[in-house]
């Protein structure tokens, strides 16, 4: 019987002929924890009587969620991570290096066919590189630090086929917000999503990361894609690891196959307080905003900043708006400097913060006030997400965020892209 | 494993930010402190009202969102004995089993806040003592029951040093 990408990778890593709904214990290729989850993992590791870390070269800790530390309590957790990483020989990406989901691919730690766990729900991002990458909790991470393994229920797969080409002014973020609005926030719970079709193939690898990143927002365990030439080129230019890609068999069995023609898709915006509240931008156009956030693990890459810079070039951010920009990594930050993108954004009035997660997850660097509307390139708009449950978060593409920052209200970016 | 408690009802899509907001979880590893803020964006009085062994009862997709294990730990430390929902988001579900918080998939639509409930995980049955009804619950796979019976994955690893799920 044919297999999906998820079934093939979990079979390979568990040494068993595994199919959907089987339970396997599999060898994990790479393990990651960030500062919101690694401290608890260290505590679980110690309680489990863990001594050494299995293959420490294939582990990274990333200090990104609350970095640089805004509080004494956070500083203590960061110190704990630094001490543990040094003791056990684990790679530590400290303050300023960037967001974990940018760093793992960028540093060459993940690639086609690999099995990756990260103690962060958006670990599914690397599915764009054909990796079975999934978010877990701290105790799962601790167990994997000790044993190098984790248990998995092999997921069923939903296949998303996206036909056509995205029109001008419509980006991968619009596509994933649209897909989530179609299948709902729990439409793919416990499942793997496989994304394919002409529209996906036409995207850059950066654009594909945005789609896989948000697989969790439809409940999926992973958001997988096949590795084409673009992926291999990306992987080779970001490291030297050995990887072996996996394609689904033509006779693989799917829980559902969903087909969409996206050639007439419009820019999409997810309204508060649910990610599956996506509507065409026209429906929320004119909504006043007080804060705009450009960055996060969903859309903080050079391509995203450059799209925003095109709109903000020789324009000013509306006086009633704070535009906060967080590049996804130091590398992205430097590239944005070297290409003039950052200069354009800062000239337009942007406040650039350290590469990291702060504004998205509500730890610091842009907590909205009561009753304020925020438009953000992040992946979640839950009530209270940005640390104020009386604020309202709208999710959109970098282009829509930039256009809205200029006007001071939610704006269709196509008005700026003549 | 038989559990008995009083129901506290919530709706669909209770996400991990509602269970414990990101603004608290980065500050401390003291779960008792986090437990004081559990569910506060949905019910500011919850932490004060909840009695040891009480159940959180919800609709679909409980625990969607973050991988933060502080979510089940904050519920456990607030005294919650189990979470009953029509469905769970997968990372929360794993984290609950791993930390020793029983999670029960069943039809929760007729349960009202304040109902007295008894759950038997092995027999797969939920009794509503207040309403005098019985509902079947989806049984947990044996290996998950094993981790729960061990008291969570930490205790499982203390016992076996690795996964022992066969």
Q: Between residues 102 and 161 of chain B, which touch chain A (CB distance below 8 Å)?
A: 141, 143, 152-154, 157-158, 161
- What local confidence, expressed as pLDDT, does residue B12 receive? 95
Tokens of A392: 């309202």
Residue A416 placed within a domain:
no
**Which residues of chain B lie closer than 8 angstroms to A120, CB-CB?**
66-67
Tokens of A338: 């070297």
Other C-beta atoms within 10 Å of A92: how many?
A: 18
Could you tell me if A107 lies within 8 Å of chain B, comparing CB atoms?
Answer: no
**Which residues of chain B lie closer than 8 angstroms to A135, CB-CB?**
67, 91
* Whether residue A255 is found in the same domain as residue A283: no
* Whether residue A18 is found in the same domain as residue A167: yes
* Whether residue A111 is found in the same domain as residue A238: yes
Q: Residue A44: closest CA among chain B residues belongs to which residue?
A: B154
Tokens of A153: 């229920």
**d(Cα B88, Cα A339) in Å, to the nearest integer?**
45
Other C-beta atoms within 10 Å of A390: how many?
A: 12
End of a domain among A259, A290, A310? Answer: A259
**Which residues of chain A lie closer than 8 angstroms to B60, CB-CB?**
186
- Residues of the domain holding A253: 5-259
Domain count across chain A: 2
> Which of B42, B64, B165 is the best mutation test for A, with the most CBs of A within 10 A?
B64
- What local confidence, expressed as pLDDT, does residue B139 receive? 84
Residue A307 placed within a domain:
yes
* Whether residue A63 is found in the same domain as residue A138: yes
CATH number for A314: 3.30.499.10
End of a domain among A203, A232, A259? Answer: A259
* Whether residue A283 is found in the same domain as residue A399: yes
Report yes or no: A234 and A206 within 8 Å, Cβ to Cβ: no
Bigger pLDDT: B165 vs A149: A149
Residue A23 placed within a domain:
yes
Other C-beta atoms within 10 Å of A205: how many?
A: 22
Q: Residue A41: closest CA among chain B residues belongs to which residue?
A: B69
Report yes or no: A126 and A133 within 8 Å, Cβ to Cβ: yes
CB spacing of A140 vs B94 below 8 angstroms: yes
* Buried/exposed code over B8-46 (b: 16+ C-beta within 10 A; e: otherwise): bbbebbbbbbbbbbbbbbbbbbebeebbebbbbbbbeeb
User: Which among A25, A135, A363 is the nearest to B67, CB-wise?
Assistant: A135
Burial class (CB in 10 A: 0-12, 13-18, 19+), A237: exposed
User: What is the average pLDDT value for chain B, to the nearest integer?
Assistant: 93
Could you tell me if A149 lies within 8 Å of chain B, comparing CB atoms?
Answer: yes
pLDDT at B121 over 90: no
Inter-helix orientation angle B90-99/B153-160, to 10°: 50
* Whether residue A38 is found in the same domain as residue A126: yes
User: Which among A37, A118, A221 is the nearest to B90, CB-wise?
Assistant: A221
The DSSP 8-state label assigned to residue A348 in this structure reads H
Residue-range domains of chain B with CATH:
2-160 (3.20.19.10)
Residue A291 placed within a domain:
yes
pLDDT digits 0-9 by tens, B59-85:
999 999 999 999 999 999 999 999 999
pLDDT digits 0-9 by tens, B95-116:
999 999 999 999 999 999 999 9
* Whether residue A309 is found in the same domain as residue A204: no
**d(Cα B75, Cα B96) in Å, to the nearest integer?**
10
Residue with tokens 């519920």: B75
CB spacing of A387 vs B23 below 8 angstroms: yes
Other C-beta atoms within 10 Å of A353: how many?
A: 18
Could you tell me if B24 lies within 8 Å of chain A, comparing CB atoms?
Answer: no
Q: What is the pLDDT along chain A (418 residues), one digit of tens a residue?
A: 899 999 999 999 999 999 999 999 999 999 999 999 999 999 999 999 999 999 999 999 999 999 999 999 999 999 999 999 999 999 999 999 999 999 999 999 999 999 999 999 999 999 999 999 999 999 999 999 999 999 999 999 999 999 999 999 999 999 999 999 999 999 999 999 999 999 999 999 999 999 999 999 999 999 999 999 999 999 999 987 899 999 999 999 999 999 999 999 999 999 999 999 999 999 999 999 999 999 999 999 999 999 999 999 999 999 999 999 999 999 999 999 999 999 999 999 999 999 999 899 998 999 999 999 999 999 999 998 999 999 999 999 999 999 999 999 999 999 998 7
Closest Cα of chain B to A224: distance in Å?
Answer: 17
Mean pLDDT over B129-143 rounds to 92
> Which of B87, B91, B159 is the best mutation test for A, with the most CBs of A within 10 A?
B91
**Both ends of chain A: CA-CA distance in Å?**
51
Tokens of B106: 């069943």
**Which residues of chain A lie closer than 8 angstroms to B88, CB-CB?**
189
Q: What is the 3-state secondary structure (H, E, C) of chain B?
A: CEEEEEEEECCCCCEHHHHCCHHHHCCCCCHHHHHCCCCCCCCCCHHHHCCCCCEEECCCCECECCCCCHHHHHHHHCCCCEEEECCECHHHHHHHHHHCCCEEEECCCCCCCCCEEEEECCCCEEEECCCCEEEEECCCCHHHHHHHHHCCHHHHHHHHCCCCCC
Tokens of B90: 């997968």
Binding site, annotated residues of A for [4Fe-4S] cluster: 297, 357, 360
CB spacing of B26 vs A363 below 8 angstroms: yes
Residue A265 placed within a domain:
no
Report yes or no: A137 and A118 within 8 Å, Cβ to Cβ: no
* Whether residue A210 is found in the same domain as residue A152: yes
| Length in residues, chain A | 418
End of a domain among A239, A259, A279? Answer: A259
Report yes or no: A223 and A212 within 8 Å, Cβ to Cβ: yes
Residue A342 placed within a domain:
yes
**pTM, whole model, 2 decimals?**
0.95
- What local confidence, expressed as pLDDT, does residue B24 receive? 84
**d(Cα A67, Cα B26) in Å, to the nearest integer?**
11
The ipTM, to two decimals, is 0.92
Residue A418 placed within a domain:
no
| Length in residues, chain B | 166
Residue A235 placed within a domain:
yes
**d(Cα B128, Cα B117) in Å, to the nearest integer?**
5
Following DSSP, what letter does each residue of A258-323 receive, concatenated?
Answer: EEEE-TT---EEEPTT-TT-EEEGGGTTT-B-SEEEEEHHHH-SHHHHHHHHHHHTT----TT-EE
* Whether residue A293 is found in the same domain as residue A251: no
């Amino acid at each position: 019987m044919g297999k999906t990408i998820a079934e093939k990778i979990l079979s390979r890593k568990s040494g068993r002929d595994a199919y959907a709904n089987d339970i396997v214990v599999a060898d994990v290729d790479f393990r990651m924890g960030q500062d919101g989850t690694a401290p608890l993992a260290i505590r679980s590791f110690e309680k489990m009587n863990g001594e050494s870390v299995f293959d420490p070269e294939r582990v990274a800790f990333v200090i990104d969620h609350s970095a640089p530390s805004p509080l004494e309590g956070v500083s203590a957790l960061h110190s704990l991570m630094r001490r543990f990483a040094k003791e056990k020989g684990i790679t530590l990406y400290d303050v300023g290096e960037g967001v974990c989901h940018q760093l793992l691919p960028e540093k060459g730690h993940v690639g086609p066919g690999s099995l990756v766990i990260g103690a962060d729900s958006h670990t599914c991002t690397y599915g764009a590189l054909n990796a079975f990458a999934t978010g877990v909790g701290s105790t799962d991470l601790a167990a994997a630090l000790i044993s190098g393994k984790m248990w998995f229920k092999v997921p069923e797969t939903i296949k998303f086929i996206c036909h056509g080409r995205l029109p001008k002014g419509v980006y991968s973020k619009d596509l994933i917000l649209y897909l989530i609005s179609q299948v709902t926030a729990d439409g793919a719970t416990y499942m793997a999503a496989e994304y394919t079709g002409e529209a996906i193939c036409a995207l850059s690898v950066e654009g594909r990361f945005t789609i896989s990143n948000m697989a969790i927002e439809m409940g999926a365990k992973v958001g997988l894609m096949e590795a084409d030439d673009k992926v291999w080129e990306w992987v080779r230019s970001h490291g030297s690891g050995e990887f072996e890609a996996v394609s689904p068999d033509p006779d693989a069995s799917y829980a559902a196959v969903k087909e969409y023609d996206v050639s007439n898709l419009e820019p999409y915006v997810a309204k508060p307080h649910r990610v599956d509240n996506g509507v065409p931008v026209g429906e929320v156009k004119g909504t006043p905003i007080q804060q705009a956030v450009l960055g996060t693990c969903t859309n903080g890459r050079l391509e995203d900043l450059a799209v925003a810079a095109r709109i903000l070039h020789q324009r000013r951010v509306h006086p009633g708006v704070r535009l906060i920009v967080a590049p996804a990594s130091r590398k992205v930050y430097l590239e944005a400097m070297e290409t003039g993108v950052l200069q354009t954004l800062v000239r337009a009035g942007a406040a650039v913060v350290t590469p990291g997660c702060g504004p998205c997850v509500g730890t610091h660097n842009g907590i909205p006030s009561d009753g304020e509307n925020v438009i953000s390139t992040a992946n979640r708009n839950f009530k209270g997400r940005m640390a104020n449950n009386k604020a309202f978060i709208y999710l959109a593409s970098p282009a829509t965020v930039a256009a809205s920052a200029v006007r001071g209200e939610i704006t269709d970016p196509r008005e700026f892209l003549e | 494993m038989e559990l008995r408690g009083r129901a506290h009802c919530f709706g669909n899509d209770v996400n991990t930010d509602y269970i414990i907001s990101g603004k608290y979880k980065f500050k401390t590893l003291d779960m008792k402190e986090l437990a004081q803020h559990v569910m506060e964006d949905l019910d500011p009085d919850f932490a004060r009202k909840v009695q040891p062994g009480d159940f959180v009862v919800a609709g679909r997709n409980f625990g969607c969102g973050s991988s933060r294990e502080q979510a089940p730990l904050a519920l456990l430390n607030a005294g919650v004995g189990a979470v009953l929902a029509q469905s769970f988001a997968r990372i929360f579900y794993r984290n609950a089993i791993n930390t020793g918080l029983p999670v029960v998939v069943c039809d929760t639509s007729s349960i009202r806040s304040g109902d007295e409930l008894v759950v038997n995980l092995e027999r797969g049955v939920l009794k509503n003592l207040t309403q005098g009804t019985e509902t079947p619950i989806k049984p947990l796979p044996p290996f998950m029951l094993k981790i729960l019976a061990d008291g969570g994955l930490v205790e499982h690893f203390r016992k076996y040093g690795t996964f022992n799920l066969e």
